Structures are given as C-alpha cells and as structure tokens.
A and B are shown apart, each in its own frame.
Chain A
Amino acid sequence: MVTDTMSSIFLYMILFLPLTGWLLASLLRRTTHRIVIWITCATVLGSFITSLIISPKLLDGMVCNAKLINWLSLPGYRFSLGLMADKLTLLMMVMITGVGFLVHMYSIGYMADDREKNRYFSYLNLFIFFMLFLVMSDSLIGTFIGWEGVGLCSYLLIGFWNTSPANIAAASKAFIMNRIGDIGFMVAMGVLLAAISTLNYSEIIAHLPDLLTQPTILFVVTLGLIIAVAGKSAQFPLYTWLPDAMAGPTPVSALIHAATMVTAGIYLVSRLSVLFYAAPYSAINLLWMGIATAFIGGVAAVVQFDLKKIFAYSTVSQLGLMVIALGLGQVKFALFHMLMHAFFKALLFLGSGNIIHALHGEQDIRNMGGLAKSLPFTATAMGIGALAMMGLPPLSGFYSKDAILEVATHHAGISYLLIILSCLTVFYLSRTLYFVFLGTPRMSTVTPHEGTLSMQIPIAILGFLAVVGGWITHNLFLAPGIEISHLQLVITSLVIIGVIAPMGFAWAKRQLHDHENSPRVWSFFEILYDTFAVKPYLYLSRMLSIHFERQVAAAFNGFAQIASVASWGIVRLQTGSIGSVVLFMVVAIALILLTVLGKFI
C-alpha cells in the first residue's frame, strides 16, 4: 500500500477530468458545439494520458491509494469512499479512457448532423466518469455508486433520440432489467455488512478466513453478486435488454454496450475472485451461466437481420465466453479476452456505424450488399475485426480465445462446447459479411460514401490494435507457467474458419434467395417475461383500478365535499395563480416565525 502524493494526484486527475468535462459541457450547453466537443474530447484524452503515465508504477505491482471522503460514520460501521489502483484497475482505466476517447472522436463525425450534440457529449463524459469510479473505488459501496451511474448514463444514451417511443421503451427496459441485477448487488452488500461490517475490498479479502467458516453467507453474497453480473453484463437470464439497447446511437453501442459498461460484471468477479472461488457452487454457477449465455447469444446472432442486433447478440455471446473463463478459474484469461473484445467489437460497431451513416440509417442487412466496392475502407476494417473475432492466428482474438480453449481442454465436455461456439461465431460473422459487403447491391437510391476523417482515424487505430493487440499484450496475461500448444490451436482455428466460413456464405446466399423474414423463435425469454411478469402486473393494476380505486376515490371525494362546503367563502382568496399562492404562503410563514421568535426576543 503506497499513498504518495504524486500518484494520488494522478488518480484524482484520471477520475475527475471527465467529470469536469461533463460539468463544463452542461454549463456551456447553449454555446457552440465546437467548444463542448473540444472540452469533452480533451478531458477524456487527458485522463487516458494520465493513466498511461501512472502505468509503469502499477505494472511493477504497486498499489496506489487516494482518499476521497468519509461518507457516513455510524457506530460500528464506517463508509468511506476512496480510490485504489492496481494492475486490474490499470487495465480497466486504459481500456475505458482509450476506447472512450476513440468513440468521442468518432462521434464528432457520426453526430455531425445532430442538433443536440452538446447533450450527447456531456452524457458520454458523465458515463466515463462513473465507469472510472466503478473500477477505481476501493470499496463495494463506491463500485455500487459507479454501477448505478453507468446504468443511468446507459439509460440516457439509449433513449438519446427521445422522440421515438420505441427508443424510450428500449431505454426503460435496459433500466428495469438492470434494477433486477442491482437487487442482487444490494443483498450481497447487506449480507456482507452484517457478517464482517466492512465493504472495503482489501478488508473483505482480509476477512476471508472468517467468511470461510460461514459457507452459507459466502454463498448468498456471491449469488447476489452473480445476479448483479447477470444484469449488468447481459448474462442469461437477464440478457434481453442488450439487443434492445441498440436503439441508441451506434458509437454509444460501441462504447457502452460492447467495450466498457457490460464488462463491469467481469471486473467485479475479477476483483473479488478469491470470494467466488472460495464459495460453494459459485464457480460452477458462473460456468453454466456463461455457457447458456454464450450459446443463446451465438444462436440468436445467426438468425438476425438487423446489423446492430447481430453484433449485440455476438457481444452477449462473447461476454458469456468471458464468464466461462471466470467459471473455469481463469481470471487473467477472462480479462485478456475482455481487452481483445473491446478492440475488435468496438471496431465492428464503429464500422457498422460507418455503414449506417453512409446508408442514412438503414440497418437491415437484406437491404445492403456489395458495399465492399463503395466502402473499401470500412469493408477492410470490418473484415479485420471479424477475422480477429473468429480467432484467425495471429490476430488479437486468436490469443485470448485460444487461451480459454486451452484451459477448457482439461474439462473434456466444455472444450467441445467451446469449439461448437467458435464454429457458431465464424458462421454468423461470415453470414453477416456476405450480406453486407458481397453480392449485388440492394440499396434503394443512396450512393454510399465513406465518413469524415474523424470517423476513419479511430477505426484505423482500433483495426491496428485488433491485428497486433494480442501479440503485444499476451505476455502480460498468459503467465509463463502455462504452455499454449500453439501449433494444435493454430490448426484448429484455421480448420474452423476454413470450413465454417464458406458455409456461412452459402447460408447467406440461400437466405437472400428465399427472402426469409426474421424469425421470432429466439425471443422465447422475452415472451416468458412478458407472460409471467409484465402482463400479470398490468392485469393487477387494471383490476385494482376498476374494483378498488373507485371506492377509495369515493371516500376521498366525500371528504373533499365536506371541505369544500366548509371552506365556502374563504376559497375565493385562491386566485389559481401558483405564484401568488406561494407568495401568500411564504409571507404567512414569515409572519408566524416572526411572532414565535418575537416572544423570545
């Protein structure tokens, strides 16, 4: 534990620069767009550079601390908020601010025609602040504040185009599904507080021997946290909000719903991994939750026709893969895949943003086709992103995915499941690429053109990282003790891609030929929630309103009648203008206070 002033100042800078950006952007929201865009981009870039400056220290294994405030002190409990940074935090900070800056830059071009750019950029900065607070807090309570904050920003940004009721519904859905997960988080915090009266990470881990004697408590805490993870990281059975969250602007989907916010759950499990591996059943719960999620996401991505929803389900599936790695006890591999996924999925989302921008909002891949000719830059970038995600050696996805596959070979059944999952990934990606970039153009009248330079630079940087990112960073994640039998995995990946990709192309060709409609089979869980939660609630409300409310209302109307008869005469004083009513009230209160105080004087 080191608390030297210099590193605390760096930590404050990393955290509070985006907050400053949000404050300034909100205060200056009536000024020109140019100022707001400069402020918001510069603060996030500053945050990114500061996290790079502090990185050598943290990579050496130092843990930096910084005090914030003593939030609430009660006898027996003390809730203090503070900052803590170690290697895990560094990884998250660099990823959040790095991808965050690229998305800010991309948004300059993408949102160029939007009238409410200032609101958009200020929300983005607020999101970055809360996300950083989530990962930099030294206690569960601070993480929870960030957890709620990113949920709020996600809600605001999904519903950013708030004139369409569908967007508002998607935003509300994301918020409500997340609240279900939050209940798990709160239960976990409550139980932990009752058991060891602290929520500080290092103190929780120090109390582990006490907790080990109470396996039930440990089980309840980790189960609550797993529910929280299922909500935030879009795991089975709470994943249904993520595909709908695509209603927001595409850069938001890249930043919040692919690279950063949805990885908060992975962060939480990694932070408290000793708790999860010590608790009974928790690792196995994570493993099965991940497997269910990965397969539902992968299969759903195969049948979608909406470009962004394909990538949303693909994100669900990849998050499932990370949770599988966590369930297998490999925190480092999960984090490695999280970082690689941030690169190639942000790349794919920004690329699809380019396409949607070029086609003026068209998202149905049946109305695309042949775009490789008119958008060569985007096509190359997305091709790289897709290949990296398929796991083509030596691109980024190969290292992280095959590290997980390698571990799974010790669990026979799971390694077969993962190979099937890889096949699914290759299948839906090649299908999508065929629909979008190959074949004959099926657009109506638009001539697609590439976006501005500010949209191309982030894509180029992410493309570069998707190619070499795995090669550069794999030494940080894969401990030298673990041998990865490269040759075997290289051959496996090549065979999978070589065999499955043509099948994906063929499937796409057949679907185009048959003019199929989007099947609704995979919305099974949506139907389930609708039947067992939404409809009963609405029915109950309607019944209460018909049978119960009238009686209550009648009773109150009776009181109101009495009052209105009794107050006849005085009631004329009320002019109906709120201002004058409040003025009367204030004057009266002041008079009362004066008389009361006058007795004492």
Chain B
Amino acid sequence: MISSTHILILSSILFSIGLIGVIIRRNAIVALMCVELMLNAGLLGIIGSSLTTRDPSAQILVLFIMLIAAAEVAVGLAIIVMAFQHLRDTDLDNYSSMKW
C-alpha cells in the first residue's frame, strides 16, 4: 500500500530533478518547466503529509496554489517571450546582459 512516506520520497525526487534541471539546463523554457516541477513537487509533499494528518483542507490549499501557479506561469512565459523578442534567443546564458 502507498503510504505518505512513499509520496514524500517521490516528492523529494521530483524536487531534486527540477532543481538540477534549473541549474544545468540552458533553455529558458525548460528552466521554467523545471521551476514548475519543483513547485508541483512541493504540492505533492503537502498532499503526502495530509494523508497522515487526515486534514482535507490540504487538498483545497493545493487546488488554490495550482490556480495561482497557473497565473504565475503566464507571467513567466510572458517574460520569456519578451526576452526572446529582444535577444532572439532562449539560452539563459545570453540573458546575462540583464544583470545590473
């Protein structure tokens, strides 16, 4: 049977994959997807721990966070599209001209 430990382990694996992806991948869209993966790993963690506490409000909380995350992705993609229009490139290394 699947217990909350298993879900937490899965969640941390997903989080690590996302984290490593953000660090090593150069494509801005892939990096954004990895950020989303980390966020969703966090949500999975909430769900996993709610299995032990048996608190249904965790599930509603997750639904709300997903809603906000959808809005946040729209902003993230808009930033990438604008940056792409400026630099004709989705490589994150070439975005360094935006530092100070």
Residues of A within 8 A of B (CB): 72-75, 564, 571, 574-579, 582-583, 586
Contacts and interface: CB of A to CB of B under 8 A. Distances in A.
Nearest to A564: B100
Given A574-B100, A579-B24, A586-B19, A72 B59 contact: yes
A578 B21 CA distance: 12
A72 B51 CA distance: 12
Nearest to B54: A73
Interface of B: 19, 22-24, 31, 56, 59-60, 92-93, 95-100
B93 A577 contact: yes
Contacts of B96: 575-577
B99 A574 contact: yes
A578 B59 contact: no
Contacts of B19: 582, 586
B23 A583 contact: yes
B23 A576 contact: no
Nearest to A583: B23
A595 B27 CA distance: 34
A574 B98 CA distance: 11
A402 B18 CA distance: 59
A324 B76 CA distance: 46
Given A72-B59, A73-B56, A75-B56, A582 B23 contact: yes
23 contacts: A73-B56, A74-B56, A74-B59, A74-B60, A75-B56, A564-B100, A574-B99, A574-B100, A575-B96, A576-B95, A576-B96, A576-B97, A576-B98, A576-B99, A577-B93, A577-B96, A578-B93, A582-B19, A582-B22, A582-B23, A583-B23, A586-B19, A586-B23
Contacts of A575: 96, 99
B39 to A, nearest CB: 15
A576 B99 CA distance: 6
A132 to B, nearest CB: 25
A402 B96 CA distance: 69
Contacts of B24: 579
A571 B23 CA distance: 20
B70 to A, nearest CB: 13
A575 B31 CA distance: 18
Contacts of B23: 579, 582-583, 586
A433 to B, nearest CB: 46
